[in-house]
Amino acid sequence: MVTGSIVALATPMKVNGDIDWEALRRLVNFHLDHGTDGIVAAGTTGEPTTMSFAEHFDVIRAVVEEVDGRIPVIAGTGANATSEAVELARYASEVGADYCLSVCPYYNKPTQEGLYRHFKAVAEGSELPVILYNVPGRTCSDLYNETVLRLAEVDNIVGLKDATGNLERAEDLINRLAGSGFMLYSGDDGTACDFMLMGGHGDISVTANVAPQAMHDLCVAAVAGDAERAHQLNTRLMPLHTNLGIEANPIPVKWALNRMGLLEPGIRLPLTWLSEKYHSTISEALQLAGLIDD
C-alpha cells in the first residue's frame, strides 16, 4: 500500500523526440534522492499516447529496473480498448511493477456499465493490483462515485486516482470507503492538500516532478492531519500547482525540468514546447518554490 507523494513522471526526450534513456534513469534517481514515495511510469504526464507499444513497455521496464524495489512503481496501463489495457497490465506485472494505473477509456465515451466491465476485465486479466484513474477533463468519460463503489468490491481493484478536483465528491468517497482499505489519491495538485486532510491517502502529482522533497513533506503533513504545516507548504507550492497547467500537461512541467537542467527540450507532436509568453510565469513559480535562483 503506497501513501504520500507519487510522482506522475515525465518521460525525458531528446530534441528529435527520441526517448532519452540516460536522462530517464537520472530523473528516477533524482526522485529516489529527494523523498518521492512512489513513481508512476508512462502515465499521462509520461506521454504514453505518443509511444509505440514497444516504447511504452520499455519505459515501464526501465523505471522498474532503476528503482530496483526501493519505492513502489505504478505502471500507466490505460487504453481505450479493453484488450489493450489488459495487455499493458499483464506486461507491467511481468516486468515487476507494483501496481497498474488504468485510466477511463478515452474518446469512445462508455456508459457506467461499460466502465465497470472494462475495469473488471483489467483486474481479472492481470495479477497487478489496479488503481482506477478518473480524469474526465481529458477522457470525456467520468467514473461516477457509485461506479467506484461497485468497483471497490472487485478483487484486485485497490484504489482510485481522482483528478476531478471536486472536493465535495471526494469527501463523499472518503467517507463511504473509510476503513475499507481502498486507497484514494488526488490527481489534482491544486486541491490535493485539502483532499488528503479530509482523509485521502496521497497525491499522484505533476508538481512532484520539479519539487519532490517539498511535495513529500506536504503529503506527510496532510496525511497525518497536520493542517497548519500542510497549508504552509502548499501555499509556497501553489504557483507551481496552478501554472504547471498553463498549457496542456506535460508541456509546462517538461519546460520547468529543462529550466532546472534535468532534461533536454524534447516533446512529441501533437504537443509542442511551452509558448515563450509563459516562460517567465513558470520561472517565477520555480523561484517562489526555491527551485532556481533566478
Residue 294 has pLDDT above 90, yes or no: no
**In this structure, what C-alpha cell is assigned to residue 47?**
506521454
pTM, full prediction: 0.97
Domain membership flag for residue 124:
yes
Residue 69's domain is classified under what CATH number? 3.20.20.70
Sign, CA torsion 159/165/169/171: positive
* Total residues belonging to the chain: 294
Mean pLDDT of the chain: 97
In this structure, what DSSP letter does residue 185 have?
E
Q: Is the CB of residue 63 less than 8 Å from the CB of residue 28? A: yes
pLDDT for residue 71: 98
Q: How far apart are CA 31 and CA 210, in angstroms?
A: 9
Instruction: Give pLDDT tens digits for 163-183.
Output: 999 999 999 999 999 999 999
Domain membership flag for residue 38:
yes
Domain membership flag for residue 272:
no
Domain membership flag for residue 61:
yes
Give the list of residues 6+ apart from residue 235 with CB closer than 8 angstroms, or none.
none
Domain membership flag for residue 146:
yes
Domain membership flag for residue 204:
yes
CA angle 87, 5, 38 (to 5 degrees): 40
Does 82 count as an annotated binding residue? no
Total domains, the chain: 1
Chain center to CA of 38: 10
Domain membership flag for residue 282:
no
Q: Across residues 185-214, what is the average pLDDT?
A: 98
Domain membership flag for residue 241:
no
| Catalytic annotation, residues | 133, 161
- HSE on the CB side for 69, CA within 13 Å? 0
Does 45 count as an annotated binding residue? yes
User: In which domain, by residue range, is 89 found?
Assistant: 4-235
Instruction: Give pLDDT tens digits for 215-246.
Output: 999 999 999 999 999 999 999 999 999 999 99
